[in-house]
Amino acid sequence: MIIFSIAQRELRNMFNSLLAWIVLSGISLVVFLILVTLVKSYLENPANNLGGIGVTGTIVSTVFYFCSYLFILIAPMLTMRSFSGEFKNKTSQLLFSTPISMTEIVLGKCLGLYLFSLIAAVIPLLITLSLVFGTQLDAGLYFSSLLGFLLVTFTFMTIGVFASSLTEHIGLSAFSSIGIILFLFWLVELLASLIKVDALQSALQYLSISKHASPFYNGQMNSSDIIFFILIITTFIVLTIRKLDSYRMQH
């Protein structure tokens, strides 16, 4: 399967450079610090157990929530080379002159990055699982937090791949993906609060990634939220394919 070969190449490319290892160790460190802080405050003041959501709610979900925040910066760093690098080194010519379609190329690249998200997810998963030795964990909430983390990071990765297909300048690619991610994650809600036109306001609110992500960290897996993520990921994949097709038309 060509898609898997490309995904494998993308993944190995990340691990060949120092970047993937730095990112993974960075995540480990941050997760560890957050966990220790949360456990400490929980033990000192059990009243923080707001509304009886328990250890899983106050600690595990928060850890995953923070981790997905980290990917606002991590995803652009990992994806900035996806296409920009290929354009710059002219290796894109290898991809374009072999018998594979643009769709396969883009899906392969994205799959490789999703696999990285999965690998990264193992870190908060294992570290928070250590709580099992002291208390009972809520498996359902655990799972929905993990799902939320994966959906959010998959979205960020796809946006990054799209931004990377826009330009052959790696820095520009990273900046534009941070821009798009920040806009959709957070700024769009700010904008919505400023606009008083109802239809536009609710449309903008619908686009907010954080709004669709937060229910997962509270243990809610709404099909409408899942559909939102599938839609936004598909949109950016299609945009990337279109962009690459038109790449042959210009320059």
Letters for 65-94 (x = contact with another protein by CB under 8 A, - = none) are ------------------------xxxxxx
Kindly indicate which of the ranges 96-104, 127-135, 199-207, 224-232 contains the residues binding another protein, using the contact rule CB under 8 A. 96-104
Q: What is the distance between the alpha carbons of residues 12 and 8, in angstroms, rounded to a whole number?
A: 6
Q: Residues touching another protein: how many (CB under 8 A)?
A: 23
Asked whether position 52 contacts another protein by CB under 8 A, the answer is no
Residues 211-250 that bind another protein (CB under 8 A): 248-249
| 49: three-class secondary structure by DSSP | coil
Q: Check: CB of residue 127 under 8 Å from CB of residue 32.
A: yes
Asked whether position 41 contacts another protein by CB under 8 A, the answer is no
Task: HSE, CB side, 13 Å, CA atoms: give it for residue 23.
Answer: 24
Residue 235 tokens, joined: 């949109």
Kindly indicate which of the ranges 5-13, 35-43, 151-159, 186-194 contains the residues binding another protein, using the contact rule CB under 8 A. 5-13
- Please count the residues of the chain: 251
Asked whether position 2 contacts another protein by CB under 8 A, the answer is yes
> Judged by CB under 8 A, which of 45, 97, 223, 224 binds another protein?
97
Long-range CB contact pairs, 101-106, < 8 A, 24+: 102/241, 102/244, 102/245, 103/241, 104/2, 104/3, 104/6, 105/6, 105/244, 106/161, 106/165, 106/237, 106/240, 106/241, 106/244
Asked whether position 100 contacts another protein by CB under 8 A, the answer is yes
Residue 37 or 101: which CB sits closer to another protein? 101
Interacting residues toward another protein by CB under 8 A? 2, 5-6, 9, 13, 16-17, 89-101, 248-249, 251
